[in-house]
Structure 1
Amino acid sequence: MKVIAFNGSPHKRGNTYHSLKLACDEMNTRGIETEIVQVGGKPLRGCIDCGHCKNIMDHRCSIATDEMNDFIIKAIGADGILIGSPVYFANMTPETKCLIDRLGRVTRNNGFLLKNKPGAAVVSARRSGETFTFSAINYLFQASQMPIVTSSHWNFMMAEGRNDWERDEEGLETMKLLGENMAWMLERFAD
């Protein structure tokens, strides 16, 4: 089994990355393969509502000038999905939004290709906006008929500055438990 974790932060090894890595490391100890895919900082285009994915069942977006089709294929091939984003002005990063819009459009229009794959949002924030960002990411999972994996609290990591993730003891525990719960759910679905 494999889980793809999309890092929507432009900081490749920042707070969001480490939040995702904590959950992934926990899954790895339980025999689940994980891969963190860098989305943040990539030159991605938003959905242009061209209708290509409604008419062509090739699991691809018509925009072929960026890496989004590679991300879509990874998500379709995964057994579970994590999407992580820092908070930018009370919401997700633009790259995370592009991922959600285009991934959601292609997979829903091609027969709900993410259906029954567990998903979870992971958010890092300095001081506010985390609940809205968390909800916004989870809308993809709900609209795609994906079960949402939970933890002991909302999946937030509070970090005031770069690499402050280690200071949030509750966040550390939340991310580890998220990884444990994702592994548990994947194991139950495999039975």
Structure 2
Amino acid sequence: MKICTLLGSAKKKGNTGTALGWIEAELESLGHEVARIHLNNTSIHGCLGCAKCRENPDEIACVQKDEALDVMERMILSDGVLFASPIYFWGFPAQMKLLIDRCFSLVTNYHKPGHTSLMEGKRVGLLVTGGDAFEQNAEGMFTAFERFADFLLARKQGGLYLAGCSDPSAFSDVEKEKAVALARSLVG
């Protein structure tokens, strides 16, 4: 399988990047092709809400010609997409949120007959790192992702929240085992 991983952290080698590296290594050891996109290194603008993308539902028809189009194309061409992000103020950081908002252009007829998506049937997963416990912190982010996956008509293959993150060197084998399990659920 071709797996696209999306790193939504500003830090390439921080907590999220470290855990994502374990997942990518496991996927590659299982024989899958993995390509990481570090969203902090892309130029993605916010959705304009113009709905011009609705005029051609068979392609990414966004009027903005930035790197979001390339990222979404790579998502579509993959069998699975893993969204990896730290939690910022109970939600996704700007790097990831900009892309999620632009995914509006991948779906037509939401909540109507004929609901279609260019991501229909694709496997998706979510990796989140944060300093605090899941409760009163990350549960809203996971709920939002579940709804986003439903919007995309994608297949939710798993999610993982790694709490208590302070520094990647503080991770234990327990966190690594959980990350490896997420990798397997994404392709299983």
| Same fold, TM-score > 0.5, yes or no | yes
Q: List alignment gaps of at least 5 residues for structure 1.
A: 185-191
Residue 58 (structure 1) shift? 3.4
Equivalent residue for 2:118, pick from 107, 113, 116: 113
Length, aligned pairs only: 178
Does structure 2 conserve the Cα–Cα contact (< 8 Å) formed by 1:22 and 1:172? Answer: yes
Structure 1 Cα separation of the partners of residues 127 and 94 of structure 2:
16
Moved more, 21-30 or 84-93: 21-30
Corresponding residue of 2:83: 83
Cα deviation code 1:35-55 (max 9, x no counterpart):
110113644322111111100
The 5 A counterparts of 1:165-180 are: 166-180=170-184
Overall identity of the aligned pairs, in %? 23
The 5 A counterparts of 1:18-167 are: 18-40=18-40, 42-56=42-56, 57-64=58-65, 66-103=66-103, 105-109=104-108, 111-128=116-133, 129-150=137-158, 154-164=159-169, 166-167=170-171
Tell me which amino acid in the other structure corresponds to 1:61. C
Residue 168 (structure 1) shift? 4.3
- The TM-score with structure 1 as length reference comes to 0.84
Structure 2 Cα separation of the partners of residues 143 and 98 of structure 1:
16
Tell me which amino acid in the other structure corresponds to 1:175. A
Structure 1 Cα separation of the partners of residues 23 and 127 of structure 2:
9
Q: List alignment gaps of at least 5 residues for structure 2.
A: 110-115
1:155 alignment partner, SS class: strand
Residue 79 (structure 1) shift? 0.4
Does structure 1 conserve the Cα–Cα contact (< 8 Å) formed by 2:59 and 2:118? Answer: no
2:40 alignment partner, SS class: coil
Corresponding residue of 2:112: none
Higher strand share: 2
Residue 80 (structure 1) shift? 0.3
- The TM-score with structure 2 as length reference comes to 0.85
